[in-house]
Amino acid sequence: MREVVVLGAGLHRYGVDPDKSATDMGTEAVRNALMDAGMRWDDIEAVYCGTGGQGTWGAGHLIGRVMGLTGLAITNVENASASGSAAFREAVLSVAAGAHDTAMAIGVDTTPPKAVNRPSTSPPLGPVNIFAAMAKQHMEKYGTTRDQLAMVAVKSHYNASFNPYAHFQEAVTLEEVHQARMVADPLTVLHCCPWDGGGAAAIVCARELAGKYTEKICPTVVSSVLKSTLAGGDPMVDLTEFSAKIAYEQAGAGPEDMDLIEIHDAFTIEEIIYYEALGLCEEGEGGRLIEEGVTALDGKHPVNSSGGLISMGHPIGPTGVGQVAEILWQMRGECGKRQIARPVNLAMAHMVGAGGVCVIHLFRK
């Protein structure tokens, strides 16, 4: 298997934009990624396009028609919230196996029509009720506090306030999180990710070919794991623990080595439980971790420097690919006021999806 590196990435800002199609947003992200990588469209040999709600029309093929018909291989990927992450994994594997020298992962989705005419921060009630119950259980069992849950949202919005691609770009206070509209106790609307749209693209190639296109830092993909729910296990905590163990083994690293983690945080309680599942702390200690600042931009293990799903947004298809973009730009030192001060040498992108799927990638500079 060949070593695979990330050459470049591009985004279309996440948010609610009913006047733009998925093709519009995806094409903008693709063009930005090509510019970032110093490549042309006809340099790309394969495309894997992750979407959550674009139907059977083939979002990747529609974007390809706009970019130009070159005969490249295009595959559309659907894997719930992990669609973009799964698409990125397919791109990585195709290059690692030698089927292609270059490949692009695209993620694109538009805001669901029913969500356009209601507050964009209103997620579906089914998932909210599930995670509200999970939050209550964690609070009762481990003493996790409402303040600790709200601190996740405060951190998320602070980081996103420096991210020009984020849906929400204003910091919030602890009091504002507490006083926001209650969705499902103890989760107010500021504990929840928005229902939005956007586009993201990331380009990978064989390590030995990177210099042909760019002199920028090109992180190596040192681990790529996709797993589904274990018998007797749950589709979030147990699945994340299982997947992370394999990812760490592939990379020859551990949670203590992570300089940045982009975590699936559709709700604040998710970030806390994934701290624990990924091994950043012991079970039940996730609330303490956020309170002590360990996961802040200047902490030992920064989490969601992009703003995460809660504040950058969660347009489904683009989400996992957008995580890769954030890691790439952090490793290059290109993130402006949200830049992590010390070198980002090893980073993780983590996504889960409904139905029971977890995708984890580790990157080394």
pLDDT band at 125 (very low <50, low <70, confident <90, very high): low
Residue 143: both structure tokens together:
């003493």
What is the pLDDT at residue 113?
Answer: 53
Q: What is the pLDDT of residues 252-263, one digit of tens each?
A: 999 999 999 999
**Residue 90 belongs to what H/E stretch?**
helix 83-96
Q: What is the pLDDT of residues 138-185, one digit of tens each?
A: 999 999 999 999 999 999 999 999 999 999 999 999 999 999 999 999
Can you tell me whether residue 365 is helix, strand or coil?
Answer: coil
* CATH 3.40.47.10 assigned to 124-194+223-364: yes
Query: CA-to-CA distance for 214 and 84, rounded, in angstroms?
Result: 24
Q: What is the pLDDT of residues 268-313, one digit of tens each?
A: 999 999 999 999 999 999 999 999 999 999 999 999 999 999 999 9
User: What are the CA-CA distances from residue 305 to residues 142, 148, 301 (Å)?
Assistant: 26, 18, 10
% of the chain with per-residue pLDDT over 70: 95
Please answer whether residues 45 and 242 qualify as being in contact, where contact means their C-beta atoms are separated by less than 8 angstroms: no
Domain boundaries, the chain: 4-110+196-218, 124-194+223-364
% of the chain with per-residue pLDDT over 90: 89
4-110+196-218 and 124-194+223-364 agree in CATH topology: yes
pLDDT surpasses 60 at 116? no
Q: What is the pLDDT of residues 36-56, one digit of tens each?
A: 999 999 999 999 999 987 766
CB contact set of 358 (below 8 Å; sequence gap of 6+): 82, 225, 226, 227, 228, 239, 240, 242, 243, 350, 351, 352
pLDDT surpasses 90 at 210? yes
What is the pLDDT at residue 54?
Answer: 74
- Domain 4-110+196-218: CATH superfamily is Thiolase/Chalcone synthase (3.40.47.10)
pLDDT band at 345 (very low <50, low <70, confident <90, very high): very high
Q: Average pLDDT in the 97-103 region?
A: 98
Query: CA-to-CA distance for 92 and 100, rounded, in angstroms?
Result: 10
Is the bond preceding residue 318 a cis peptide, omega within 30 degrees?
A: no
Q: Average pLDDT in the 208-216 region?
A: 96
DSSP single-letter state for residue 264? -
